[in-house]
Structure 1
Amino acid sequence: MRRLVLIAFALLLALLPVILPDSAEFYVTLANYIGLYALVALGLVLLTGVGGLTSFGQAAFVGVGAYATAWLTTAFGWSPWATLAVALAATTVVALFLGFITLRMGGHYLPLGTIAWGISLYFLFGNIEAFGGHTGLGGIPPVSLFGIALKSGREFFYLIWIALMLGIVATQNLLDSRDGRAIRALKGGVVMAEAMGVNTAWYKIVIFTVAAQFACVSGWLYAHLQRFVNPTPFSLTQGIEYLFMAVIGGVGHVWGALLGAGLITILKQWLQDLLPKLLGQSGNFEVIVFGLVMIFVLHRARDGLWPVLLARVERLWPALAANASGRVAEAERLPKREMPQAGDTILEVREVSKRFGGLTANNAVSFTVRAGEVMALIGPNGAGKSTMFNCISGVNPPTEGEVRFLNQRVERLESREIARRGMSRTFQHVRLLPTMSVLDNVAIGAHLRGSRNFVHASCRLDRDEERRLRHESARQIERVGLGEHLFDAAGSLPLGKQRIVEIARALAADPCLLLLDEPAAGLRYLEKQALAELLRKLRGEGMGILLVEHDMDFVMGLADRVVVMEFGEKLAEGLPKQIQEDPKVLQAYLGGVE
């Protein structure tokens, strides 16, 4: 049904310049500008709404595209289509340079950084004599398509909207992929994603560059539509307006870019026409009213207007709300990692210490984990167990000591590199992406088992691999007993089941060592029994399991060996029965000899 609506929308767009009379040229022009602005806002949906990276400087990238084609076509007589390739290449270079500098900053420093380079590029355009200074460059030739020069707004309309529709389709394809899940994890899930093998720094650069290229294409189109450029449309003010468009439309939704661009463009035009009649010709009253309207909309619809509109339409037209992905397609199984021989030592922790300033969280702790065994790490709250997990998995490297995994030192490796070697983990505090489905959350765990990149995803050339990744993820979800929750939002599940989802995500990575941080917390008795049975089965398959847990009945009935920690140090190590009878452990942890 949604596909039919999209087809109807495309047909309406195609007919718009034809059915509008010559006297309505203004509306064609308005539609052209909506398309140009929506293309920039689309990049901000990917960058800010999905990736969580706020940029006020996108107008500068529009300027790079516009000035590149204006200068090359007027000064050297280049073909406009050749200048598009040069403009995209130049934008990519500038975006990579700025991205490597700016994206290292977090918090409020990132948007401040984008403001800084946005202002810098704006004044650069106005101070280069070859670009005409602040006066600008004119005489830009029209674009020719199949030998036809696109000189009028009606002719150019199709080129703008084809570019926008291709951008929307490519963005939707990208987000519906392995790389799309990694990009969604950038907003609030960086630590988890890195532990699953996602190179988050790389994906930040990717979406920053893609958003810049969308802006570049918009600038190239703008230059050949106007046949004249000057720095004014590429100022910081316009960059802020692009961000407003994305936010008002629905910054986390692809079609929100079009809705926001359309609403703000039409609203600004309407206010500019109406307010002078009411309040006189002097003053910029439309800016004041526009600001008040924006505040009201943001107050009433914090996620933008697209989700509100979609909910209303689906309520009136339930067929649109039907879930087209209610099942997972069958696919060939992914190849499995070769497991170490049962009994082989796969993890060695040697004299590991972790200090946070003057606080010693772990002090010279040593132990080993073998393939085909469950090793339990127990101790009171604050004993340093989760800190030890972070040291082992690379989330927070140790201050001193060695961590050897599969006979290789890994204590100085990034967590994603350790994950690539076959280690996977869960977290003490659940780290899921709550608005994504259980299936998509678990599929993040299988990230390293795919190889297609974002270009393949955007062109939908990754479908076979994506089916295999989703099938494997669904298999692991069924394996842990949550098959009926495949398409539920992960955040809608109770805490205990969210922990089980984390285990499924870790298993999707096909590890040989599994680190479980309090997996039974929040589970009922029968759920704990099912979890214990699953872990016994994994142990029988040759997987090594390192377990942190407070439920002593659960631990003592499952673990092959136990390490007890207290105040960051190893207090005892041995078989469960030995630990239960150790006077030091009984005194420190299990409540005393009595």
Structure 2
Amino acid sequence: MSTPASSRVATSPGSAGAGLLRVLPWLLLGLLLLVPATLSPFYVTLLNYIGLYAMVALGLVLLTGVGGLTSFGQGAFVGLGAYTTAVLSTSETLPGWMAWAGGSPWLALVIGLVLTAVIAVVLGSLTLKLSGHYLPLGTIAWGISLYFLFGTMEVLGGHTGLTGIPPISLFGWELNEGGEIFYLIWAFLLVAILTTSNLLDSREGRAIRALKGGRVMAESMGVDTSRSRMIIFVIAALHAAASGWLYAHMQRFVNPTPFGLHIGIEFLFMAVVGGAGHVWGAVIGAAVITILKQWLQDLLPALFGASGNFEVIVFGVMMVIILQRAPNGLWPILTHWWPDANAKRKVDAGAAPLPRREMPKAGEVLLSAIDVTRKFGGLVANNKMNLSVAAGEILALIGPNGAGKSTMFNQVSGVDTPTSGEVLFRGQDVAGKTSREVARMGMSRTFQHVRLLADMSVLENVAIGTHMRGSKSVLPAAWRLDRAEEARLLAEAARQIERVGLAEHMFDAAGSLALGQQRILEIARALCSDPCLLLLDEPAAGLRYREKQILGDLLKKLRGEGMAILLVEHDMDFVMGLVDRVVVMEFGEKIAEGLPEEVQKNPAVLEAYLGGVA
């Protein structure tokens, strides 16, 4: 595009600022109503472009800033929306089966969105399987392909483009001037902002945000990460297509030039400069870059006394400075004294409890690993390992570093699949099942290296664990039709936070907690999935003596409630005074099993540890 109920409420000192953020759309709406009557046509047109660009950048906020997926190809999706409406609105020789859609911009919008969704699903199914730097390279590849497709197809007018696109008509009123289509552009943008904000403040939104915490963590909490990635990819594409539809009817002409790779890079700049993790950052980024480019195009030729692309050079330098000085974007700087509205959350204490699974009887064997062997090429990480865990007991799996404990942990939790042997959970074979399926069976876990979303509150981090206990999807979340279920999920998260003793930190940022508290937070998140078996991967690692005491008291409390716990540790002192039974590994094999006092006297164990913890 070329530019010319009863509740517990957090007590937060910045709640007034959070309230301001909630009314910001209404303040903006009031100002926008005055724009065409008070500003010149030039500035109205500039604001039109800002609104169009912000819609595309908003999709990138969701895709890149929140979901962690970098895309350079959004300009191509803008082109899909623009060309679809251009063809349907101007062609006089549509096939008979498409004649019904000819001449109507609104029908063209619907068809364009459907077409874009289909193409996005196809491209996403290929691109989103890539990781690392291959993912953005993949988006560059199809972005360039679509750009050249626009320029080579005769039906699309080739590089010359299509003219004579009719204006949008709304209730008989033709929006054929910048000041008239202005309201429609910003109405689309505000609806997009509202629905995106609602989506992020929901069960589905937490699943999307959990992607940045790692796919293993999200899958272990029951999140279908492939589905979540596809959702945000398609939503970002639809935002871009809607922007392209508006652009085509504002310009009344389209050609391939505004939909190339360069504009895809510019859209990504807008999202990052504004604040890629913040919905309103899309508007700030679009405004800053659009106005800055226009200002440089006017100023620099006057300064240098010659025409040229000076603005591109200066613009590039200024972008580097902004990214260096404000790596999180401009929006967090502008709202430094206005905490996120989610910092003050209402938790309905009277919300109906979520359904709970029937807990097994004390002593019932829940987990059995039978002759589990895991080979990596010629390396045998686990060799015919056997262990079992019963309801109401804590079993410790210990051994020196490199003994194969974590590999065994991955076999029983569904992260990895044994080369041979069986892992049975409540009589069902775990081998070959995904972490998500294992979680649904009633097994939940924590991680050796804490995996939290540092900027999210303790409450929201823990609520990720409730994901598979809810069912409301994207559309109900976007239009706030999920509020009853959301209240129950948050109430469950609050109950688990209180259960583990972190109630006073419920609304604090998870990253502000001490390491010991973060590990307990992970346990609360795991408990939210309503497990009967809890898998803990070195939960005492890095903890001070007092923190270990608190953790030990919590695990004893959970055992007393009937929970089965498998504890992977190498801290002998922490384990021996806590657990009911111990399995000791060395070089991938079991060398001892029994009561703590028996294992401590076992010569093989003493030799493995060389008199202390390795």
Normalised-by-shorter TM-score class: over 0.9
User: How far apart, CA to CA, are the structure 1 residues paired with 2:491 and 2:222?
Assistant: 19
Residue of structure 1 equivalent to 2:590? 570
2:267 corresponds to 1:205? no
2:426 corresponds to 1:426? no
Q: In structure 2, which of residues 467, 491, 494 is the aligned counterpart of residue 474 of structure 1?
A: 494
Question: How much does 1:252 deviate?
Answer: 1.1
* Structure 2 residues not aligned, in runs of 5+: 1-18, 95-101
2:307 corresponds to 1:291? no
Q: Give the match's secondary structure for 2:280.
A: helix
Matches within 5 A, 1:60-79: 60-75=76-91, 76=94, 77-79=102-104
Choose 185-194 or 525-534, whichever is displaced more.
Answer: 525-534
Contact in 1 for aligned 2:343/2:457 (Cα 8 Å):
no
Q: In structure 2, which of residues 504, 519, 533 is the aligned counterpart of residue 513 of structure 1?
A: 533
Q: 1:438 to 1:299 in 2, by over 3 A?
A: same
Question: How much does 1:451 deviate?
Answer: 0.8
Choose 573-582 or 233-242, whichever is displaced more.
Answer: 573-582
Contact in 2 for aligned 1:439/1:487 (Cα 8 Å):
yes
User: How far apart, CA to CA, are the structure 2 residues paired with 1:487 and 1:119?
Assistant: 45
Residue of structure 1 equivalent to 2:347? 328
Deviations 1:332-380, CA, capped at 9 Å, x for gaps? 1111111122222211111112223333221110111112221111111
Q: 1:326 to 1:87 in 2, by over 3 A?
A: closer
User: How far apart, CA to CA, are the structure 1 residues paired with 2:230 and 2:246?
Assistant: 24
Q: 1:371 to 1:321 in 2, by over 3 A?
A: closer
User: How far apart, CA to CA, are the structure 1 residues paired with 2:80 and 2:254?
Assistant: 11
Q: 1:447 to 1:582 in 2, by over 3 A?
A: same
Q: Give the match's secondary structure for 2:590.
A: strand
2:505 corresponds to 1:485? yes
Letter in 2 for 1:575: L
Deviations 1:237-286, CA, capped at 9 Å, x for gaps? 11111111111111111111101111111111111111121223432111
User: How far apart, CA to CA, are the structure 2 residues paired with 1:143 and 1:369?
Assistant: 67
Question: How much does 1:327 deviate?
Answer: 4.8
User: How far apart, CA to CA, are the structure 2 residues paired with 1:357 and 1:281?
Assistant: 66
Choose 187-196 or 237-246, whichever is displaced more.
Answer: 187-196
Question: How much does 1:228 deviate?
Answer: 1.0
Q: In structure 2, which of residues 382, 386, 396 is the aligned counterpart of residue 376 of structure 1?
A: 396
Q: In structure 1, which of residues 86, 93, 97 is the aligned counterpart of residue 111 of structure 2?
A: 86
2:151 corresponds to 1:132? no
User: How far apart, CA to CA, are the structure 2 residues paired with 1:201 and 1:288?
Assistant: 39
Letter in 1 for 2:417: P
Contact in 1 for aligned 2:394/2:566 (Cα 8 Å):
yes
User: How far apart, CA to CA, are the structure 2 residues paired with 1:136 and 1:542?
Assistant: 70
Question: How much does 1:74 deviate?
Answer: 1.1
Q: Give the match's secondary structure for 1:347.
A: strand
Residue of structure 2 equivalent to 1:265? 290
Question: How much does 1:400 deviate?
Answer: 2.2
2:363 corresponds to 1:338? no
User: How far apart, CA to CA, are the structure 2 residues paired with 1:92 and 1:299?
Assistant: 35
2:22 corresponds to 1:6? no
2:529 corresponds to 1:496? no
Residue of structure 1 equivalent to 2:97? none
Q: 1:402 to 1:139 in 2, by over 3 A?
A: same
Matches within 5 A, 1:317-466: 325=344, 327-330=346-349, 331-466=351-486
Contact in 2 for aligned 1:480/1:531 (Cα 8 Å):
no
Letter in 1 for 2:81: G
Residue of structure 1 equivalent to 2:53? 37
User: How far apart, CA to CA, are the structure 2 residues paired with 1:373 and 1:539?
Assistant: 6
TM-score by length of 2: 0.92
Q: In structure 1, which of residues 65, 89, 96 is the aligned counterpart of residue 121 of structure 2?
A: 96
2:66 corresponds to 1:50? yes
Contact in 2 for aligned 1:189/1:433 (Cα 8 Å):
no
Letter in 2 for 1:497: Q
Contact in 1 for aligned 2:448/2:541 (Cα 8 Å):
no
User: How far apart, CA to CA, are the structure 1 residues paired with 2:89 and 2:501?
Assistant: 63
Q: Give the match's secondary structure for 1:197.
A: coil
Question: How much does 1:310 deviate?
Answer: 1.5
User: How far apart, CA to CA, are the structure 2 residues paired with 1:121 and 1:4?
Assistant: 40
Q: 1:530 to 1:321 in 2, by over 3 A?
A: closer
Question: How much does 1:211 deviate?
Answer: 0.1
Q: In structure 2, which of residues 196, 202, 205 is the aligned counterpart of residue 171 of structure 1?
A: 196
Deviations 1:154-194, CA, capped at 9 Å, x for gaps? 11001000000000111111111111111112124221111
Q: Give the match's secondary structure for 2:374.
A: strand
Residue of structure 2 equivalent to 1:18? 37
Identity within the alignment, %: 68
Letter in 2 for 1:79: S
Residue-pair matches, total: 583
Residue of structure 1 equivalent to 2:139? 114
Choose 485-494 or 90-99, whichever is displaced more.
Answer: 485-494
Q: Give the match's secondary structure for 1:367.
A: strand
Question: How much does 1:25 deviate?
Answer: 0.6
Residue of structure 1 equivalent to 2:16? none
Choose 101-110 or 277-286, whichever is displaced more.
Answer: 277-286
User: How far apart, CA to CA, are the structure 2 residues paired with 1:519 and 1:422?
Assistant: 20
Q: 1:159 to 1:119 in 2, by over 3 A?
A: same
Deviations 1:557-592, CA, capped at 9 Å, x for gaps? 332221111111000111223223322223323729
Letter in 2 for 1:569: E
Deviations 1:424-456, CA, capped at 9 Å, x for gaps? 011111111112111111111111111111211
Letter in 2 for 1:531: L
Q: 1:323 to 1:219 in 2, by over 3 A?
A: closer
Choose 209-218 or 362-371, whichever is displaced more.
Answer: 362-371
Letter in 1 for 2:476: H
Question: How much does 1:396 deviate?
Answer: 2.4
Q: Give the match's secondary structure for 1:186.
A: helix
Q: Give the match's secondary structure for 1:519.
A: coil
Question: How much does 1:405 deviate?
Answer: 1.0
Deviations 1:289-334, CA, capped at 9 Å, x for gaps? 11111111111111111111221xx2xxx7x778762552222111
